[in-house]
Structure 1
Amino acid sequence: MTDAQNIWKAILNELELTVTRANFATWLKCTHLIEALDTTLVVGAPNIFTKDWVEKKFNEQILKTAQKLTKNYIKKIEYKVVSPAATKNIVAPNVSVEHFIAQKQAVQQASQQQTNSDLSARYVFDNFVRGKNNELAHAASVAVADMPGLRYNPLFLYGGVGLGKTHLMHAIGHAILIKNPKAKVVYVTSEKFTNDYVRSVSRGTMEQFKQHYRTADVLLIDDVQFLAGKEATAEEFFHTFNELHQNNRQLVLTSDKLPKMIANLEGRLITRMEWGMIADISSPDMETRLAILQMKCREKNFSIANDVLHFIAEAISENIRELEGFLNHLTAYHEIRGTAATLESTKTLLANMYPQQQTTGLTPKRVLAVVSEFFDVSLNDILGQSRKKELVMPRQIAMFLLRDTIKYSYPSIGLALGGRDHTTAMHACNKVQSEISRDEKIKQNIQSIKQKLYSQSVSVS
């Protein structure tokens, strides 16, 4: 090992002590020194996403550490995309498989103390890929894991199906257990919370129910939107929330929409859900989807050509769960046959899994029904002539989605929306498109509606 390589190893050792374990494992551990040019270190990253992120977020810290270790001899750090397998145009593991095995073992050992926590060992911070779509949610989750009950309480994560809310929730639980194996971490879906409550009422075991949930150090509740309309369960959750919050016990909640947009949820619950930090997770951009695929390939120790990964990332754009599911299918297919994944085989498998593509099967009736349900307004109101503010935006979004998802013409959109003129449809689509670029709430609403449309469409294919 050269002196320069020793310096870089020392820099990484210092950084490992000063940044969070999740940040180090995700962004810094996979870097390597390419060369030392006098007072400049040239650092290699496995992909453009990692390069840009390290350069933007960690350069100042890296440079200060380098100057500290070299007595200010190093003046500059440069970054380049250089994969160990770059000459073959293949994405190879940059973090060892042993690393992921060790992480999983640490999680399992910590979880042995918590046999009832129901946390999945697959979901940890180390294998969560950050991007613009989830940056705030990830940062807030790491902060909560570092100081449960003291930073953001409750932490409310919202976004569409399969975007990583549950992953972050489980990762928080694991990180807390690794630091404090004796902590009582309870993970539960709102459906299970409801079933446990109903069962305790029918069996006369309410004290056991309260003892289980109200003594948790960390309570993680998934899909709280399903508590809406369940008055008795919501009442019990209200008291559980108060008990935990007053004693600085951490609550983490997830939903597919903002608290105030959950229909039939009590105002006092909405208020409490908004007390802490609210962070959204939107659909991942191309770079994030590609980074996710590369991370999963490293975990599986399975090499896939970059052009194949790009094709997958472009073909499956809305749902991370579907993205990972297809990658699992692809790797299993080729591992069984002992062959390499090619662009041709990938296209064939994708066509077999989604023979009609996601939007096939969508009809104007379905789009309107999902929009009506999402905004909790009647279909007649959307089709009607009322100009009330609470109806105009859902109506315009319905027009936009007819254009965006099933490529309806403006005259056809006008007819589908109660016989309106095509210019009305054109104006609505342009307005919504403009609002998306400047109103994060509207953007998130449309993404959530698309998630519902696509998941329904795939299920009937």
Structure 2
Amino acid sequence: MLKLPENELAWTATDRLLDLDAEEAPPLLFLHGPSGVGKSHLIIHLLREWLPAVEPLKYRLLSMHEFATLNMEAPAAESSGESLRSLGQLDLLVCEGLQHLDQQPWLQKKLISLFDQLQGTSARVVITSQMPIGAYDQVLPKLVSRCRGGVTATISLPGESSRARLLRHFAEIHGLTLDDELTRSLARQLPVTPRELQGCIVQLEALQRHQTLPLTADTIQDFLSMQQQRQPPTMMEVARSVAREFGVSVQAIRSAAREQSLLIPRQVAMLLSRELIQANYADIGAYYGGRSHSTVMHACRALLEKSQQSPELDYRLCQLRRLLQGLSTNSR
């Protein structure tokens, strides 16, 4: 995770909220910005630094999709009711994607009640949203008041110099060689989110591996032209391709089943949905068996680590990327 001018205020605010020793640390942080700018990554990055020093404090990353599901199932399912009650006993709650509760007053009331309960125990709350709370179509005044009662920070789209830094960072992670001229060219022509920049690097790495030659300015231009002409695959297309590759059914991959034989195919499908479609973690989780935002993040990280240790898995990932990008695949 890189500290950039566009995320510096959010970084400082999140770091301060997580610092239990900080005097007058805010009890609530409202963090907003477009999808893909790195809100979740910032929180996860700082949590990794924070948790070893404060364990065994209780925390939870909770998508609003999951919050809605728990509330809808609570009257009939004892486990959902227990999960909801446990939220009020946390030391830190991270609410992901508040915009999904827009025009949902009954869920907003449930969330307000939870915030008030946590405030009474001096717990801390981080809320992420794709837009400012004032831009919602229908939101209860009490929820607006709670969100504005803490600190508000924005993460904006990266400027050209930040995009160049991100491209170098992602290229280093993926073992891709990009000289300064090519990096500047890409940064200038791709006014997109960090998530999309990482997806671009992943695709360029696959292209370089296929042609076994260094990337050139002409190669980059051809790649960018092709990107503009081609529509990204859908999540269904990703699921079908992965299911075919691993010899399982789409229904099985998308189910809530936890069979070991489905673990790798499902993780592959989640990772490719993230890389090639730039789908957010909550949407991927909802598509694949109603899994949580944090589960999908862990699955993508775990799959990347496994592929680095397994040439066979890495090859299959590369082949699937090329297939879904409309490129020819390599023979073994």
TM-score under structure 2 length normalisation: 0.64
Cα gap change, 1:207 to 1:192, in 2 (>3 Å): closer
1:139 maps to amino acid = T
User: Which residue of the other structure, out of 139, 147, 159, is the alignment partner of 1:265?
Assistant: 139
2:225 maps to amino acid = A
Alpha-carbon separation, structure 1, partners of 2:212 and 2:121: 56
Alpha-carbon separation, structure 2, partners of 1:171 and 1:294: 19
Alpha-carbon separation, structure 2, partners of 1:171 and 1:236: 29
User: Which residue of the other structure, out of 289, 304, 327, is the alignment partner of 2:178?
Assistant: 304
2:100 paired residue number? 226
Instruction: Deviation per CA, 1:159-209: give whole Å up to 9, x if none.
Output: 112111121122233232232342222112111111121112332556403
Q: Which runs of 5+ in 1 are unaligned?
A: 1-126, 359-461
Alpha-carbon separation, structure 2, partners of 1:184 and 1:166: 18
Residue 241 of structure 1: CA displacement? 0.8
Cα gap change, 1:240 to 1:313, in 2 (>3 Å): same
Residue 354 of structure 1: CA displacement? 2.1
2:199 paired residue number? 325
1:70 paired residue number? none
Contact 1:308 1:342 (8 Å CA) reproduced: yes
User: Which residue of the other structure, out of 59, 65, 69, is the alignment partner of 1:195?
Assistant: 69
User: Which residue of the other structure, out of 39, 45, 56, is the alignment partner of 1:171?
Assistant: 45
Q: Which one has the largest radius of gyration?
A: 1
Alpha-carbon separation, structure 1, partners of 2:36 and 2:186: 16
Alpha-carbon separation, structure 2, partners of 1:313 and 1:341: 15
Q: Which runs of 5+ in 2 are unaligned?
A: 233-332
Alpha-carbon separation, structure 1, partners of 2:49 and 2:56: 12
2:18 maps to amino acid = A
1:215 paired residue number? 89
Contact 1:162 1:321 (8 Å CA) reproduced: yes
Q: How many residues align?
A: 231
Cα gap change, 1:206 to 1:161, in 2 (>3 Å): closer
Structure 1 runs of 4+ with >6 Å offset = none
User: 3-state DSSP class of the match of 1:175?
Assistant: helix
User: What are the equivalent positions in structure 2 for 1:68-83 lying under 5 Å apart?
Assistant: none
Alpha-carbon separation, structure 1, partners of 2:80 and 2:157: 40
Cα gap change, 1:265 to 1:147, in 2 (>3 Å): same
Alpha-carbon separation, structure 1, partners of 2:180 and 2:165: 11
2:69 maps to amino acid = N
User: What are the equivalent positions in structure 2 for 1:120-269 lying under 5 Å apart?
Assistant: 127-131=1-5, 133-147=6-20, 151-205=25-79, 207-269=81-143
1:178 maps to amino acid = P
Contact 2:70 2:80 (8 Å CA) reproduced: no
1:146 maps to amino acid = D
Instruction: Deviation per CA, 1:190-238: give whole Å up to 9, x if none.
Output: 1111112111233255640333311222111111011122232222211
Contact 2:71 2:84 (8 Å CA) reproduced: no
User: Which residue of the other structure, out of 208, 215, 231, is the alignment partner of 1:341?
Assistant: 215
Contact 2:17 2:28 (8 Å CA) reproduced: no
User: 3-state DSSP class of the match of 2:76?
Assistant: helix
Residue 152 of structure 1: CA displacement? 2.3
User: 3-state DSSP class of the match of 2:110?
Assistant: helix
Instruction: Deviation per CA, 1:261-289: give whole Å up to 9, x if none.
Output: 22211100110011111011112111111
Alpha-carbon separation, structure 2, partners of 1:288 and 1:224: 27
Between 191-200 and 203-212, the greater mean CA deviation after superposition = 203-212
Contact 1:163 1:283 (8 Å CA) reproduced: yes
Cα gap change, 1:128 to 1:197, in 2 (>3 Å): farther
Residue 243 of structure 1: CA displacement? 1.3
Residue 252 of structure 1: CA displacement? 0.6
Q: Which has the higher contact order (CA 8 A, sep 6+)?
A: 2
User: 3-state DSSP class of the match of 2:85?
Assistant: helix
